[in-house]
Amino acid sequence: MILYQSTRDLSASAQITYNNMRTYYEHYAVNWEQPTIVEQIIGLENWDIVCDGEVVGAIRLAVGDDECYLRDLQVSAQYQNQGIGAQAITESVRLAREYGVKQLRLRVFKISPAYHLYTRCGFTIASADDRFFNMIQNIT
């Protein structure tokens, strides 16, 4: 059973992000370490993804007037490909509706397999650059 709770340990949550994203940071020569991630997530809406009592991932949202930005969705490697990411996207959409916004948006590395998950879950490409797809989903 998957549950969502307000993040209790930002450092541990940031470590999940670092573990998952390290190969992308290295590929693009981005110098992001775990303490830098903590600094970046402090002001966000941070949610733990909990499976059978264990924190297995994170959802991070930045909420504006008309849109919500899914800044981060991470699932620890050993829990990937089990539907947890898709459930977390559903939860992100639910939260966005609760915040009363009209659009959920995100940015994903072009080389990330998460791109396919986002398209399956209803996101479309709004724009792209050399590294990223900027994706949106309208909230109705």
Average of per-residue pLDDT across 4-15? 96
Mean pLDDT, all residues of the chain: 94
The two tokens of residue 119 are: 């398209």
Query: How far are the Cα atoms of 6, 102, 127 from residue 50, in angstroms, in the given order?
Result: 10, 27, 32
Here the tokens at position 65 are: 């007037």
pLDDT tens track for 32-83: 788 889 999 999 999 999 999 999 999 999 998 888 999 999 999 999 999 9
pLDDT at residue 107 above 90?
yes
Task: Indicate the domain borders of the chain.
Answer: 2-138
Superfamily of domain 2-138: Gcn5-related N-acetyltransferase (GNAT) (3.40.630.30)
pTM: 0.92
Distances (CA, A) of 66 to 14, 42, 54: 27, 22, 33
